[in-house]
Structure 1
Amino acid sequence: TQEDCEDVLLCLDDIKWLQHQFFVSHDTNRLNSFHDLLMGCDVKLPRPEVEPRNQELEARIQCLKARQANREYKAMTRNVDTFRVHEPEETISYHLKQMNKQLIAVLQFIISVLAGFAFGFIGIELIVGNLDFGFRLLLGVIFALIIALAEIYFLAKKLSEDIPSTLT
């Protein structure tokens, strides 16, 4: 019965012996799977060890929580206190400048891609000579695609540099 049994612990050598027995019993058509042996057994796994948190990390977390709470408080009370100096992110000119930067980036992207297409479509024909229309079109698309990929890379790099400055 289960009440009379003590906990039985298996080590790695026992598991290896069981694996060997599976191969031996496979030839004799006896039990040859691990779940057949475990049927009716309770498997007790050891509890993972919980390591105490690092005090440096805990202090840093508390500092970050305090900063975040201060930002949230400032955002909540922004319209209540009229004597406080307004942050530059709250002005319309700041938002217009940000929108202007983004529009310039989009226009630069479009112009660069169109210039790459024009070079591939017209420029190669001027250098090499008369080419088939389909081939010129293919060259234009290839050059435009290469330039578009490069522009997307630099746009993503620029945006990743701008994000931390807007959060602080």
Structure 2
Amino acid sequence: MASSFLAGERLVQALGPGGELESEHLPRKLRAELEAALGKKHTDGDSPSGPRRLVSFRLIRDLHQHLRERDSTLYLHELLEGSEIYLPEVVKPPRNPELVARLEKIKIQLANEEYKRITRNVTCQDSRHGGMLSDLGKQVRSVKALVITIFNFIVTVAAAFVCTYLGSQYIFTEMASQVLAALIVASVVGLAELYVMVRAMEGELGEL
């Protein structure tokens, strides 16, 4: 946290011999502290201008208070022209090797848990997709079996009708009697086929 100013040339000259602060009759202690602060140079490795003079905020507040009490025409902001707030470089403490190792271990554990969670979701999705494909296959097979059964029913009834009609020609001479006999036989065969179909469908539904 900032606690001092980098004194500019204006403040240094004002405090020097013949400077603007000479006529303000600064208290001896305040002048001594300001001269000590401005006379002490601090080395800043990151500064291209080399050593710098640091003046604490407390001294600046004391100087401002003195100027106000004297109703001076010299204002503090004029003295601070060219000055800057000094922000010291923050030195990071060395990291604890044990703490670093523990953090790395925790990161690895979290990564493994995340990987397991992702792969578990993928496995569930795959199994769900496999189940959907299996259900679709069952439905296709059921429809196919139903179509074949209906086709067999139609062929069987038609064959029974044709065979009975052709065979009844040797028994009946009238076409109406032949057709009636063929219809009766075809109906009986159709009912028998329907019974077999219903029993088969009940068995399939029971398995589902």
TM-score normalised by length of structure 2: 0.37
TM-score normalised by length of structure 1: 0.45
Greater strand content: 2
